[in-house]
Amino acid sequence: MPPGLDNLKHIVVLMMENRSFDHMLGSLTAVDPRIDGITAQLSNPDTTGALVNPQPLAQFQGQLDPDPDHHFLAVDLQIFGGDTSTSRVANMQGFIKSYFNQQEDVGHSQKIMYYFAQNQLPVLTTLALEFAVFNRWFASIPGPTICNRAFAHYGTSFGQVDMDILYVNEPFKDIYDRLINANPKHTAKLYYYDTTSSTMEVANLLQNEPQLFGTYDQFLNDCSSGNLPDYSFIEPNYNDHDTDTGEAVASDQHPDHNIQAGELFIASVYNAIKQNASLWQSTALLVVYDEHGGIYDHVVPPACTPDQFTASANDTGTGQPFAFDRLGVRVPAILISPWIPKGSVVDGRIFDHASIPATITKFFLGDYSPRSPRETTADVFIEPNLAPIDPTRNLLSLAAMRTDCPDFDV
């Protein structure tokens, strides 16, 4: 068996907020053409009909205010460019039109095309170039946060496409429940930043199973003490607030929160794992964003296996029901492990957040049912450690662990 898989004992997922692939990592095409980011041919029309190219003018804060609309109806406009006909084809031409609808300011609406230069995001771009960056990781739904995050926990949103309270449909258990009730038992924890930021998984998990939760300080302690669970899901700080030790700036990178605070947070998670040598060699860290936040990306979201739920025309706002048969807009996703070859680019495979419970389940539990149709058909980003391993799919493929991985001065 590949030693990377043999050594793997912990999988950690850090899910950030509301930034598209092109916005965060699009600059890297200039560094490595295998990375499918920004090229000179890309554009979107503004409401005057002028074509606007993506430009490396994104700012850390204060630029995407108001928060770009990313509810289902707005994302439909972003993906289809405003074509509502039955024969329409997705073209990713409606981002400026969508942002214009919020302030009716042509100049401001063009900022939705801005992306970060590589040197503005030293953490995320370094991780992307050093480890495995996914060219085709999409949000699970062309919609907002709550329903997309549900796919990371349950492999489905139970028919929901919005931010309303999500109530679990019993047949599909969350990934934490599956692990802690398995035989043999596994360990799992959802770490929210602190009590004042809390979790987005309130309605089903926090109020029912608070023992599954920990704070970010506990994550740091669990890393240093070697007590990290088999599976960890980390949430960033969602709001600015005071703490006993000072000020906690929101680190989720949700517009209009500060991007650099999020960079520090990502680096902090990485360092916490890497600074424990035993943990570093036995852990894979996935950094991924929940959805694109209404910000431009050029890759058309593909069709996918329909879920067994349907959102009504009233819920979508488009006048049409939605069978969960198309993915959302592309987001940044990076898999980190010292067993991954430097400069890995995952191409030709499609992932979404249902890939998270799919991967965790297959790796730790093997066969498990019932799972949602979307999760059952989702690709996995870590191969189950069972013979035969397909070397073309296994990302933790090195015969010897790397010793040249970067450090961040956090």
Site for other proteins contains 144 (CB under 8 A): yes
Measured distance between the N- and C-terminal CA atoms of the chain, rounded to whole angstroms: 35
Helix (H) / strand (E) element for 11: namely strand 10-16
Q: Is 124 left (phi over 0), alpha (psi -120 to 50) or beta?
A: alpha
Judged by CB under 8 A, the residue of 87, 211, 245, 392 near other proteins is: 211
Judged by CB under 8 A, the residue of 91, 196, 376, 394 near other proteins is: 196
Site for other proteins contains 63 (CB under 8 A): no
CA angle 164, 330, 233 (to 5 degrees): 60
Site for other proteins contains 409 (CB under 8 A): yes
Please report how the helices 72-80 and 95-103 are oriented relative to each other, as an axis angle in degrees rounded to 10.
Answer: 130
| Interface region with other proteins, contact rule CB under 8 A, candidates 37-45, 259-267, 330-338, 366-374 | 259-267
Nearer to other proteins, 117 or 299 (CB): 117
* 27: its two tokens: 């600059």
What are the two backbone dihedrals, phi and then psi, of residue 210, each rounded to the nearest 5 degrees? -65, -15
In the region spanning residues 109 to 128, those forming contacts with other proteins, defined by CB under 8 A, are 122-123, 126
Site string for other proteins, 287-306 (x = CB under 8 A): --------------------
**Residues facing residue 10 across a β-bridge:** 283
# residues contacting other proteins (CB under 8 A): 51
Site for other proteins contains 101 (CB under 8 A): no
In the region spanning residues 32 to 61, those forming contacts with other proteins, defined by CB under 8 A, are 60-61
Site for other proteins contains 202 (CB under 8 A): yes
CB of 211 to other proteins, least distance (A): 8
Judged by CB under 8 A, the residue of 39, 67, 73, 308 near other proteins is: 67
For 139-295, list the strands marked E by DSSP: 188-192, 213-215, 231-234, 241-243, 246-248, 283-289
Distances (CA, A) of 211 to 207, 234, 372: 10, 15, 25
Site for other proteins contains 210 (CB under 8 A): yes
Give CA–CA dist 327/141, Å, rounded. Answer: 5
Site for other proteins contains 180 (CB under 8 A): no
Judged by CB under 8 A, the residue of 41, 85, 207, 314 near other proteins is: 207
Indicate the Cα dihedral angle 384, 179, 196, 272, nearest 10°: -40
Hunting for tokens 């996935």 — which residue is that?
A: 286
CB of 195 to other proteins, least distance (A): 5
| Interface region with other proteins, contact rule CB under 8 A, candidates 134-142, 179-187, 196-204, 344-352 | 196-204
Judged by CB under 8 A, the residue of 222, 230, 263, 383 near other proteins is: 263
Site for other proteins contains 258 (CB under 8 A): yes
The rounded Cα 57 to chain-centroid distance in angstroms is: 23
**Residues facing residue 191 across a β-bridge:** 214, 234
Residues of this chain that bind other proteins (CB under 8 A): 17-18, 60-62, 67, 122-123, 126, 144-146, 163-165, 195-200, 202-203, 206-207, 210-211, 238-242, 247, 249-250, 254, 256, 258, 260-261, 263-264, 267, 403-410
